[in-house]
Structure 1
Amino acid sequence: MASDPVFHPWVAQAKAAPVVVAGGAGAWFWTREGERFLDLHAQLGNLHLGHQHPAVVAAVTHQAGRMCTLAPSFGAEVRERAARMILELAPPGARSVLFTTGGADAVEHALRMARCVTGRPKVLAAHRSYHGATEGAIGVTGDPRRWAVPGAGAGTVRFFGPYLYRSEFHATSEEQEGERALAHLRRLLELEGPHTVAAVIVEPVVGSNGVLVPPEGYLAGVRALCDEHGILLVADEVMTGFGRCGAWFACDLWGVRPDLLTFAKGVNSGYVPVGGVVVGERVAEHFAERPYPGGLTYSGHPLACASIVASLTVLEEDGLVDRAADLGERVVRPLLTELAGHLPVVGEVRGRGLAWALELVADRATRAPLAPYAAPGRVHPRMAEVLSACRARGVWPFVAANRVHLFPPLVITEDDLCTGIAAVGAALTLEDS
């Protein structure tokens, strides 16, 4: 057998067997053999506008004909326009945008900024979290993907975030969970010495580690703790930004203003690799008269910026952020709740907007998970069966540990959304039988 010339991420190379995709349109994609799949995870949660959106394709094509690339030390109208559009949508206090090539290097730069501004070494990060695969980003990642990277995470201190279904704090209500999670974080700060902590990094809604929606008041409490001790709050909105949770940013759901906000994925649906850091007032003022020690050759790449301008225009003009909020509450929540009502394998349903998770259990009474906690990509045989059953019904969700995640494109039709959820339910019925 001929060797594969592509080195594949997150998999043993001898076991890589990628499905070869021939094309896609909207919420659908198809293989060269003609199989069609409803993309219920928007690839990696990034394809907000679906496959081949004509406005974005046209914008990239037009920019390529005008100027393909330009060093970041030069000014470019499309770069400035993209930055201004992001700042207009960002939480109050946003001052500027550092463009990167993706979410992981956005996290790298946000952490570097925090350490430069505070002069402190440590970063507090959650156990159930993912922040990227570069050295610094995997170091603050909490899930098992970091285990195989020796030496990563120097200066990182981990904490438990709120997760009522599997509470580390023996809480019995959302209110208790939030209060006890904050007390835990405060105690950890006391033990570490708050004067040694540069930043607390959070996913406002945890993404690939379970779509964990925090209790009311939790994020505001984290913000208050940071303010009390001069610590910067970094919001990793790579998965949740630009409408995924039914608001422009998940922080907006609770009115929280981070000092630094990282983004990628939904800002342009990944049509051209791009990410960035939204820089708040304190950080912007620190670097007003001193150089920032960092940069990238492709920062603010013109093709990427053109795709951002087009994507944000579509999201605004088509009302897709409000539509995600509406579909989440009016369609997804009731349908998934109904599934949970008659499928004992579903232990909990949770989510906001068009970001949802079904947590699967072997026993509802004990909440024993259907599959053990593991890194996304390492699919347990039981979950592989679930995924196979979904694909046999023409839908392609995402599975991680004992969960099925649904992050469909924001442009998905209501009919397709209902059909897709029904197909997932049918697949889980087999697991339950």
Structure 2
Amino acid sequence: MTLHDLDPADGDRARALDAHILHSWSKHGTTNPFTVARGEGVRLWDHDGREYLDFSSQLVNTNIGHSHPKVVEAIQRQAAELATVAPATTNLVRGEAAERILSKIDDMAAVFFTNGGADAVENAIRMARVHTGRTKVLTHYRSYHGNTGAAINATGDHRRLGNEFATGHVHCFGPFLYRSEFWAETEEQEAERALQHARRVIEAEGPSTFAAIMVEAVPGTAGILPPPPGYLQGLRELADRHGIVLILDEVMAGFGRTGHWFAHQHDGVRPDLVTFAKGVNSGYVPVGGVILSDEILGTFRERAIPGGLTYAGHPLAAASIVAAIDAMTDEGIVEHAAHLGEDILGPGLRELAERHEIIGEVRGRGCFWALDLVTDRATREPVDASVVAGLKGKLLERGYVPFTADNRIHVVPPLVISDDDARRGLEILDEVLGAHAA
């Protein structure tokens, strides 16, 4: 499809047919009228031919941008060669996908493929429970881990409520200095007190009952919350002290989003299990997985893993992983994401905060940023949902596709965005925030 092929009548038909779809996290019939017909790089087009800059990366997954030719070609070639194959078979492209993933992370031994991020979390929890013979899993209240049985129970935000059918889940507050639960005034205090809180929860619940501590390496949907120095290392020490498996959820933060291949590499911490999805192939084909340390893998040398999926390591997904990681490596996309964060997005967003009182805090890394919007900088009271909805609408009107959550605008463009397009996005944000204040 080219821009010349776009037909407004197709947009009308798409909206009419949308009545047959029950969308995620939505009441039926309240869907977003924004209709997408085509994507290329960091741009999207609707059926009327209107162009938008994608500053959402959809659900923070199109790290390599839309319709990257090398990934598209790899999927097409694989479909012609072998479109599907059972997971128990040996298949070259599946092995190459695992090899590419392991080449970007230190001291890990194997990959268990899944269909997406939520079932990656499910299987990581299962592995930890089998490995330890224990049940409980400690996670943060400010977190999102997926919408399947154990994953939604592990989630800490409001979407957990009404979905709590799994057992063995315990929550604690993770570090978030701007809205500290611990009366902290410095990052050092916040890390120390959050670790003490986690330690006391584990002690109160019984250390010998915990299979895993699972946290997002950088919590994403909860607000893009880079952990303060020492926090992840402290969790590693706590896990080691009690024989607990440390699972780092890299579904959103992984594969270059923060300017490293994996977000935990900023902190120099060694996980036992890592979950991934989204950015591993930019969502071109559904895929996820769990990366295992040699110690965890050892358990499954002695006994069969009690689980599997029909489409685990699907060849189309595997081909897209190989092509995406190779393109990201050859084109220096992860390094470019680090540059964008350090030289364009970080400084630019902080300049916006100086001009607009509605911005209470700017935080992030790489191409992973959040604007915490407040009614008053002194009290830090969050703006309400109507304010964010209004800003979202104004951004779309100006050709900027935003990612919003609660009282925040997340600035999360594809990692391939040019310096000029990144600056243009900041200009649009400036215009909209300025118009709101007027």
Q: TM-score range by the shorter chain?
A: over 0.9
C-alpha spacing 1:2/1:306, structure 2 compared with 1 (3 Å): closer
AA paired with 1:249? F
The structural deviation recorded for 1:196 is 0.2
User: Does residue 416 of structure 1 match 2:421?
Assistant: yes
Aligned pairs for 1:96-175 within 5 A: 96-149=110-163, 151-175=164-188
Tell me the TM-score normalised to structure 2 length: 0.95
C-alpha displacement of 1:3: 7.5
Residue pairs, 1:14-163, within 5 angstroms: 14-92=29-107, 94-149=108-163, 151-163=164-176
For 1:114 and 1:18, the matched residues in 2 are separated by 42
Deviates more, 1:420-429 or 1:241-250: 420-429
Give the partner amino acid of 2:127: M
Change (3 A) 1:292 1:431: same
Residues 2 and 181 from structure 1, CA distance in 2 versus in 1: closer, same or farther, beyond 3 angstroms?
closer
Q: Could you list the runs of 4 or more consecutive aligned residues of structure 1 that deviate by over 6 angstroms after TM superposition?
A: none
Deviation of the 1:224 alpha carbon: 0.5
2:231 paired residue number: 218
User: What amino acid does structure 1 have at the position aligned with 2:230?
Assistant: G
CA deviation string 1:369-395 (max 9, x = no partner): 112xxxxxxxx2111101011111110
Counterparts of residues 344-423 of structure 1 (less than 5 Å): 344-371=357-384, 380-423=385-428
Q: Structure 2 stretches of 5 or more lacking a match?
A: 1-15
State the superposition RMSD in angstroms: 1.1
TM-score normalized by the length of structure 1: 0.96
1:207, 1:3 → 2: CA distance?
Answer: 28
Q: Distance in 1 between matches of 2:185 and 2:106?
A: 32
CA distance in 1, matches of 2:297, 2:382: 45
- What residue number does 1:315 align with? 328
- Any unmatched runs of 5+ in structure 1? 372-379
Native 8 Å contact 1:110 1:260 kept in 2:
yes
* Aligned-partner SS, 1:292: coil
Percent sequence identity over aligned pairs: 51
Offset at 1:19? 2.1
Q: Distance in 1 between matches of 2:249 and 2:325?
A: 19
Instruction: Give the Cα separation in 2 of the matches to 1:355 and 1:336.
Output: 12
1:96 maps to a residue whose letter is: A
The amino acid of 1:329's aligned partner reads E
Give 1:2 shift: 7.6
Whole-Å Cα distance in 2 between the matches of residues 349 and 359 of structure 1? 7
- Residues 43-92 of structure 1: CA deviation (Å, up to 9, x unaligned): 11000111110000000000001000000110000000100111111232
User: SS of the residue aligned with 2:103?
Assistant: helix
Find the partner of 2:218 among 205, 214, 221. Answer: 205
Residue identity in the other structure for 2:103: E
Instruction: Tell me how far apart the structure 2 counterparts of residues 112 and 86 of structure 1 sit (CA, whole Å).
Output: 21
Residues 306-336 of structure 1 deviation map (CA, whole Å, 9 limit, x = unaligned): 0000000011111111111111011111110
Deviations 1:349-385 (A, max 9, x none): 00001100000000011111112xxxxxxxx211110
Measured in 2, the distance between the counterparts of 1:22 and 1:184 equals 48
Answer yes or no: is 1:292 the counterpart of 2:305.
yes
1-side partners of 2:170 and 2:110: how far apart? Answer: 29
Aligned length: 423
SS across alignment from 1:288: helix
Change (3 A) 1:393 1:118: same
Alpha-carbon distance in 2 for matches of 1:88, 1:68:
26
The more displaced of 230-239 and 380-389 is 380-389
For residue 375 of structure 1, what is the aligned residue in structure 2?
A: none
2:12 corresponds in structure 1 to: none
Report matched runs for 1:323-334 at 5 Å: 323-334=336-347
* Structure 1 contact 49–409 (Cα < 8 Å) conserved: yes
SS at match of 1:12: coil
The amino acid of 1:419's aligned partner reads R
Query: Deviations for 1:264-288, whole angstroms, at most 9, x for unmatched residues?
Result: 0000000000000001122101110
